[in-house]
Amino acid sequence: MTLLKPTAAQIDAVLTGGRPICAFLHDLDALNRHARGIAGSLPPRVELFYAVKANNDSRILGTLAPHVAGFEVASSGEILKVREAVGADARIIMGGPARTREDIELVLAQGVERLHVESLHALRLVNAVAMQAGAVLPILLRVNLAGPVPGATLTMGGAATQFGIAQPDIPEALKLLRDCPALRFEGFHFHTVSNNRDAAGHAALCAMELGLARSWATEHGLDLAVVNLGGGWGVDYGDPDWRFDVDGFARAFAPHVGEDIRLQFECGRILTAYHAAYVCEILDLKFVHGRTFALLRGGTHHFRLPSSWGHNHPFLILPRDAWPHPWPRPECRDINLTLAGELCTPKDVLACNVPVERARIGDLACFLMAGAYGWDISHHDFLCHPHPQHVYLGAYEHANPPVFSTGSTSFS
């Protein structure tokens, strides 16, 4: 698996405008190869959906479309984004903890394949809207396991969270479904943990969830057609060269796959994280009360992931020789450096006290693994700074819709 690591010369070759550099770079060729490889690792009758929340860029969606079974969305806006980027034939499934009447009406109007329902009230609301429309809507019941569950970066189930129907309440939900003629029960949805780096443990968790779904089907006389086992295949921002063992996960899980049920995963981060970089020019260097700061043309308003997760995001300092000013160029050497953005808040930090050999004003800070939960989760217009450029590298094109590259340089 490749990792986008551009050089300063490559960045200067594709970025224009004469302003201090601030950009997301996306390697579509590498993303194409990576998605094809992951999808090809899964056993038959196992479908891989892309979780649009990780990165909803239309060129990313178009690049992934040939390799995934469809797209998992969590909002009406994401439904429309997929339809615009990929087309009317794209398969869409929808989940999320808070649904409105308008959401459900759009689900019906846009031909969403299936809705994952997360509460008893939502069951009643979805049924009422579908009945009014004269439709029958396929659904899964999302389960919040009783726990405990294996550890991961984020836990959505097995604990007191806002997600899903608590496991002890599943019999009540199944009973309620008998009074919902506009809903067609097809199975269960489990999305219990996110960013699990233990492939064998995650396979065991998924096997346990699948076994639970089968036991419920037997106990309640259900026709179980689909089990969605969520995402959660991890990345390690502390070690950019580490990879989740997709092949090992698939081998461990394969014995639990049968001919009776269609199995689905909905992954985001593992597909898109590695093939984008966020690049910021160093505008200033400051030594304040015992700490050295590099101030960037950019920050958490573009790339909120490090702040939201509280980690030092992996980066490279890319040297650039040009210096346009008549005064000496400030620099620091063999120092613990904090990379801070341009916002008027001390929370605007992307990496804190990280050893660097050398950094100068005008050099570039290149944040790796920036393709998931970066731009999409950020508060873009706080202080109204300019947005970053978005540059798409490589020659890969997908016929529906076209994916155009703004640069011909391959960084793979």
Residues in the chain: 412
Does any domain span residue 61?
A: no
Reading the chain (412 residues) residue by residue, the pLDDT tens digits are 589 999 998 898 888 667 899 999 999 999 999 999 999 999 888 999 999 999 999 999 999 999 999 999 999 999 999 999 999 999 999 998 889 999 999 999 999 999 999 999 999 999 999 999 999 999 999 998 876 565 545 454 555 667 678 888 999 999 999 999 999 999 999 988 888 999 999 999 999 999 999 999 999 999 999 999 999 999 999 999 999 999 999 999 999 998 889 999 999 999 999 999 999 999 999 999 999 999 999 999 999 999 999 999 999 999 999 999 999 999 999 999 999 999 999 999 999 999 999 999 999 999 999 999 999 999 999 989 999 999 998 755 443 333 333 333 344 3
Domain stops at, among 227, 246, 267: 267
Residue of 180, 206, 267, 344 with catalytic role? 344
Q: What residue type is assigned to position 229 of the chain? A: L
Beta strand pairing status for 70-73 and 46-51?
A: parallel
Q: 163 near 115, Cβ under 8 Å?
A: no
User: Is 344 one of the annotated active-site residues of the chain?
Assistant: yes
Tokens of 396: 């890969």
> Are 305 and 379 in the same domain?
yes
User: What single letter denotes the amino acid at residue 63?
Assistant: T
CATH number (domain holding residue 117):
3.20.20.10
Q: Domain range holding 388?
A: 8-25+274-393
Domain of residue 339, CATH code: 2.40.37.10
In the block, residue with structure tokens 């801070």: 340
| pTM recorded for the entire structure | 0.91
Q: Could you tell me if 239 and 280 lie in one domain?
A: no
Same domain? For 286 and 374 the reply is yes
Q: Which of 207, 239, 267 is the last residue of a domain?
A: 267
Q: Strand, coil or helix: what is 347?
A: coil
258 and 300 assigned to the same domain: no
Q: How many domains in the chain? A: 2
